[in-house]
């Protein structure tokens, strides 16, 4: 089984990651007020530029592949659109920020460019979603707010391929589909399965999973005709709006916080379980296919060290191991075969995965996905490399649930 590409980007959590169009560059935020642009150099990612303008933690980043613009959202209630321009004095190419007036009074939580890249949506703690579009007359980004009937913080947003509909998952336990139609920007959209007439802030659907729970992630299928959401009750729900039919797949493991569709009949979800799980199905039913991670063996001897990226992550640090052994086992020298001490997870990611994104597509379906997480790792997985559902159960035995 081919091993996934694994990069130890940082020793701190990666809040969000996003690639440029040709995947040669990467924008990440490392749990701070700044975002870093990194370039692939051989088997490593090197920081080439730092985007610092926000004065509170950055919560999400999205890189528009075609227009090559980056948008960042932050707890300081602002969003910036970054565009590459030539500095008139030095002649160097720099990322120039443009402030976006979001008109929200709480943190921005999530941001995503629309498919045509002429709008973006910002979820926020102000019970609102800001839909931003560019106003060329005044040369700034203006925002219009989707407010009703959101009752709590918006945790995630995702665009329908028609550039008009928007899905949002919220802490009020609902996943919703809205119209984010902006008169001056959008052409009149064709009718979809979600509705025909779609003025701004039309609610096309409101869904919840049986046991409730915050909706951490939402995603439209490639055709836009199906919606999936992952909620804090450790389940993934797939919505077919016709009926509406809601298929709820309950998991035996911890909740997912991010998901993407890889094809019309399959999706990848990841989260507190530390491994990406593949789901597959149709309107007749959905089930778990397996994990992209081979969880039958400890990972420390593999991936990370292969690239010479001597991880300073919590679980890789030699100093940390020394002190841990001294503390827990009364040993003062490092022991070989650390992995049997039981604190290392059997997964590649050693902590919650916070982000799943498509990495490579072929013929309309995603063939590789990238994940980043609290352990500071970025991992690129081959979607066809699924190890059997059996990998899900052994994890439990190692989890000390006595």
Partner 1 sequence: MDTAFRKIDIDAYDEDAFLESELFEPDPRSPAHVLNDAKQKQTSVRSLLAKGDTAGALASALEGAPYGPGVDEAKNLTLQSVVSILNSTKSTEIPNVVRSLSQDAQDTLMKYLYKGMGLPGWGDVSGSVLLGWHEKLTEAAGTGCIVRAMTDRRTV
3-state DSSP helix/strand/coil % of the chain, to nearest 5:
5, 45, 45
For residue 325, give the H/E element and its range. helix 318-329
> Which of 15, 253, 338, 347 is close enough to bind partner 1 by CB under 8 A?
253
Cα separation, 24 vs 9, in Å, equals 15
Applying CB under 8 A, which of residues 158, 233, 293, 375 lies at the interface with partner 1?
233
How far CA 44 is from CA of 6, 308, 310, 313, in Å, comes to 10, 9, 11, 16
The window from 13-21, 249-257, 289-297, 318-326 that contacts partner 1 (CB under 8 A) reads 249-257
Q: Is 192 helix (H, G, I), strand (E, B) or coil?
A: strand
- Out of 213, 222, 281, 358, the only residue in the binding site for partner 1 (CB under 8 A) is 213
Interactions with partner 1, residue window 10-39 (CB under 8 A): none
Tell me the window of 159-167, 244-252, 294-302, 322-330 that interacts with partner 1 (CB under 8 A).
Answer: 244-252
Residue 256 beta carbon to partner 1: minimum distance, rounded to whole angstroms: 10
94 versus 396: smaller Cβ distance to partner 1: 396
* Closer of 1 and 401 to partner 1 (Cβ): 401
Regarding 399 and contact with partner 1 (CB under 8 A), the answer is yes
CB burial class (10 A; 0-12, 13-18, 19+) of residue 23?
Answer: middle
Residue 232 binds partner 1 (CB under 8 A):
yes
Helices (H), 264-317: 303-306
- Asked whether position 275 contacts partner 1 by CB under 8 A, the answer is no
Q: Are 286 and 244 in contact (CB under 8 A)?
A: no
Q: How many residues bind partner 1 (CB under 8 A)?
A: 24
Q: Which stretch binds partner 1 (CB under 8 A): 24-32, 231-239, 283-291, 363-371?
A: 231-239
Name the minimum Å distance from CB 130 to partner 1.
18
Interaction between residue 252 and partner 1 (CB under 8 A): yes
CA dist 202 → 185, 205, 394 (Å): 17, 9, 46
Among 94, 99, 335, 396, binds partner 1 (CB under 8 A): 396
Which is closer to partner 1, CB of 9 or CB of 128? 128
CB of residue 51 vs partner 1: minimum separation in angstroms? Answer: 35
DSSP assigned state of 195: B
Instruction: Please report where in the chains the tokens 């940390």 appear, as a residue.
Output: 320
Q: How far apart are CA 58 and CA 75, in angstroms?
A: 6
Q: Among residues 235, 258, 295, 351, which is the contact residue for partner 1, using CB under 8 A? A: 235
Q: Which stretch binds partner 1 (CB under 8 A): 83-91, 232-240, 316-324, 374-382?
A: 232-240
Q: 205, 255, 290, 376: which one contacts partner 1 (CB under 8 A)?
A: 255
* Contacting range for partner 1; rule: CB under 8 A; set: 21-29, 33-41, 225-233, 281-289: 225-233
Write out the two tokens for 156. Answer: 């995630």
Q: Among residues 101, 254, 263, 380, which is the contact residue for partner 1, using CB under 8 A?
A: 254
CB of 387 to partner 1, least distance (A): 18
List, as one string, the DSSP characters of 64-133: ETTTTEEEEEETTS-EEEEEEEE-TTT--EEEEEEEE----SS-EEEEEE-TTSSEEEEEETTS-EEEEE
The values of phi and psi at residue 394, to 5°, are: -55, -30
Interacting residues with partner 1 between 288 and 347 (CB under 8 A): none
Strand partners, 18: 27
Long-range contacts of 75-80 (CB under 8 A, 24+ apart): 75/107, 75/108, 76/33, 76/107, 77/102, 77/104, 77/105, 77/106, 77/107, 77/108, 77/124, 78/54, 78/102, 78/108, 79/108, 79/111, 79/120, 79/122, 79/130, 79/132, 79/141, 80/51, 80/53, 80/54
3-state secondary structure of 138: coil
| Residue 250 engages partner 1 in binding (rule: CB under 8 A) | yes
Residue 254 CB, shortest distance to partner 1, in Å, is 6
Stretch that binds partner 1, among 42-50, 210-218, 236-244, 335-343 (CB under 8 A): 210-218
- Interface with partner 1 in residues 127-186 (CB under 8 A): 151-152, 172-173
Sites of contact with partner 1 (CB under 8 A): 151-152, 172-173, 208, 210-213, 231-235, 250-255, 396, 399, 401-402
């Amino acid at each position: 089984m081919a091993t996934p590409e694994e990069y130890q980007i940082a020793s701190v959590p990666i809040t969000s990651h996003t690639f440029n169009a040709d995947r040669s560059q990467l924008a990440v935020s490392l749990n701070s007020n700044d975002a870093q642009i990194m370039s692939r150099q051989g088997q490593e990612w090197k920081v080439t530029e730092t985007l610092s303008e926000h004065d509170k933690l950055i919560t999400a980043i999205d890189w528009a592949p075609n227009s090559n613009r980056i948008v960042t959202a932050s707890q300081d209630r602002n969003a910036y659109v970054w565009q590459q321009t030539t500095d008139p004095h030095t002649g160097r190419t720099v990322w120039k920020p443009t402030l976006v007036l979001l008109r929200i009074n709480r943190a921005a939580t999530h941001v995503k460019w629309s498919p045509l890249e002429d709008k973006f949506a910002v979820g926020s703690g102000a019970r609102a979603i800001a839909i931003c579009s560019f106003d060329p007359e005044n040369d700034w980004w203006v925002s219009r707010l989707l407010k009703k009937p959101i009752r709590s913080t918006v945790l995630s947003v995702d665009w329908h391929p028609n550039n008009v509909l928007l899905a949002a998952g919220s802490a009020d336990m609902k996943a919703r589909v809205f119209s984010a139609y902006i008169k001056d920007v959008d052409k009149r959209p064709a009718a979809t399965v979600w509705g025909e007439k779609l003025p701004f802030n039309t609610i096309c659907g409101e869904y919840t999973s049986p046991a409730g729970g915050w909706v951490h992630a939402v995603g439209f299928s490639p055709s836009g005709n199906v919606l999936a959401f992952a909620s804090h009750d450790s389940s993934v729900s797939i919505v077919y709006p016709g009926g509406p039919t809601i298929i709820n797949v309950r998991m035996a493991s911890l909740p997912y916080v991010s998901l993407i569709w890889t094809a019309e009949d399959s999706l990848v979800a990841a989260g507190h379980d530390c491994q990406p799980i593949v789901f597959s199905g149709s309107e007749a039913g959905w089930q778990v296919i397996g994990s992209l991670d081979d969880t039958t063996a400890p990972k420390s001897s593999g991936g990370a060290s292969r690239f010479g990226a001597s991880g300073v992550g919590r679980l890789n640090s030699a100093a940390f191991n020394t002190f841990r052994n001294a503390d827990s086992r009364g040993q003062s020298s490092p022991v070989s075969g650390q992995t049997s001490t039981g604190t290392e997870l059997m997964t590649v990611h050693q902590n919650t995965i916070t982000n799943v994104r498509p990495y490579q597509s072929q013929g309309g379906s995603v063939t590789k996905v990238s994940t980043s997480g609290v352990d500071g790792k970025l991992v690129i997985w081959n979607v066809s490399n699924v190890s059997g559902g059996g990998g899900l159960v052994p994890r439990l035995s190692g989890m000390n649930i006595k």
